[in-house]
Structure 1
């Protein structure tokens, strides 16, 4: 468990440092070159830094062991961090959209300088590398917060691609004296904002379902049921509820056993069910078993 959090924290620190450097670079070059799309992109990278801070806080809280006030553990702290990152994405998206839209209501913009293209290419390459690194690690260690960060990097890479098209189009428009192409830069900024907002809402929706303790779909709990039915003494599964609790799964299960066995024998079966689920499913961290007396007529 500690190794899982250590890997996630290292990845988050790497992202934070790289995003900070990219935000400064894109901000300065965006200002010098006069590119609204690049300045918007710089703001996006800066929001990544703020998001990383939230993720670090969430990871450090999630690694705490269960206590009297949190018997299920602190795993949902990662989902809280995910929602914070998502809200930052949505906020930045709206800011970029407003900034870009205002250009169409004012005087015709000036095409950015070619230096902006260099900064954008560097950003695309770096952010895609960060996405691949964090996406693979997030899947490996099952971290929703790290996965949110990975998608934040991917949205930054996509926004940089849109910015590249916009800046290049604006430069070509000025060079070939096609005024309408100059508007491709703010149009790219508007397009970027929509991508960012969509990703933000998707992350909020996914993490909110976990925070609201939505149970897993039937196809996802079938492997758990197969495991339990192989436990000696289990006559029937009356109910199995499984839910995500951050990076792990909590299971509440009711099983029927022979009503004429001793309490100790029933307790042994209960323990065997719990042990089987924990042993055969690495993502399961907590199991609560309730024993019911088996009545054949209930099967009818």
Structure 2
């Protein structure tokens, strides 16, 4: 089908056009008929519309190498994550606002005018959401570049073989379970998130349709409670979808440790590598949803740069098995070592950053801050 050959940005552009048109119609009809359920659904639609625009902007930027602002060379990769966080905060505020308005409507009931028009708009919204879901699902099945399942399977097989080779070299390490989890098939979380939002909108539209049918067909006076009842359900649904969004995006923005990774296990594995005396200043965090970064000071018993490069390769392989692919390593010599390969480094200040080696002894970081700087360091 021709629709399956459309690029990802073209599909998102079509979805944005559909969403904006329907939002304008739904918000206007909602205020005209005094249907709180319709207004609540319209604002939820607005939230999704903002998410689609952010996603499209990110695609446009990624397709233009060199367009990243110089002042955001590193943090620019978090732009979508930051948008998701504010998106979630907006959803939280919106959900609370809708719930409060629903409670007010229960106390002071208002009659919905022209429920037939509300029903029509709800049906149109449901149809448009199903169309949008088809667009997104087609992209999810065929990928943004039209790759077939065999390509994904071949890539998955290569990744599995790569991890098996790493495990063969690191037999006594603890990263085997993490590696097996990484190699499991996974979906594009960005596409899946958009798809779930569209499905959520479709559910809201069903609620609007049910409320309109009750108000239109029922004859008892209490039928008008269907409108604030549905809006209350929409508000709760928005809250339930916003809480994990804020939690997950906020956790990554706070530079949490990558999922499934325990720093104690990482330190244990690195310190079993031949020539590595101890590891300190070990940090690992998620830059965004897909990329993890690590830094570490490595106290090495080898004084030559060539020997350390061999250790560094083993360390990278080990961290690679944990799903960490961007690593910065700083070599240090033990305090008692002298050699010509690395320049001996003397600690500044009182050097209170202790390191416990494998033999239980405690050493001191060879590169420490001055005493006046210590409150500003991450490990103090």
Same fold (TM over 0.5): yes
Residue 158 of structure 1 aligns with which residue?
Answer: 203
What CA deviation, in whole Å up to 9, does each residue of 1:195-252 have, x standing for no partner? Answer: 11332233122111111111124x3469x959x77x9757688466432212432332
- Whether 2:287 is the aligned partner of 1:242: answer no
Is 2:229 the counterpart of 1:184? no
What's 1:51 paired with?
Answer: 51
Quick check: 2:30–2:39 contact (8 Å CA) kept in 1? yes
Q: Would the aligned equivalents of 1:123 and 1:157 in 2 still touch at CA under 8 Å? A: yes
- For the pair 1:205 / 2:247, whether they are aligned, the reply is yes
Distance 1:154 1:88, change over 3 A: farther
For the aligned residues, what is the CA RMSD?
Answer: 4.3
**CA shift for structure 1 position 127:** 2.7
Q: Equivalents in 2 of 1:210, 1:111: separation in Å?
A: 46
CA contact (8 A) 2:9 2:59 kept: yes
Which residue is equivalent to 1:263?
305
What SS does structure 1 have at the residue aligned with 2:46?
helix
Partners of 1:185 and 1:18 lie apart in 2 by 25
Which moved further from structure 2: 111-120 or 249-258?
Answer: 249-258
Residues 45-69 of structure 1 deviation map (CA, whole Å, 9 limit, x = unaligned): 2333233334444566678778875
Change (3 A) 1:82 1:108: closer
Aligned to 2:359: 297
Between 65-74 and 97-106, report the one with greater CA deviation: 65-74
User: Which is greater in Rg?
Assistant: 2
C-alpha distance in structure 2 between counterparts of 1:276 and 1:54, whole Å: 36
Alignment TM-score, normalising by the size of structure 2: 0.59
Q: Which consecutive residues of structure 2, in runs of 5 or more, have no partner in the other structure?
A: 1-5, 145-185, 335-356, 362-380
Equivalent pairs counted in the alignment come to 285
Q: Does 1:87 align with 2:132?
A: no
Task: Give me the whole-angstrom Cα distance separating, in 2, the residues matched to 1:253 and 1:106.
Answer: 59
Distance in 2, Cα, partners of 1:296 & 1:32: 73
Given the superposition, is the C-alpha separation of residues 101 and 73 from structure 1 closer, same or farther in structure 2, using an over 3 Å criterion? Answer: closer
- Normalising by the residue count of structure 1, what TM-score does the alignment of the two structures yield? 0.72
Offset, 1:86: 1.6
Runs of 5+ unmatched residues, structure 1: 1-5
Residue matched to 1:109? 111
| Structure with a larger share of its residues in helix | 1
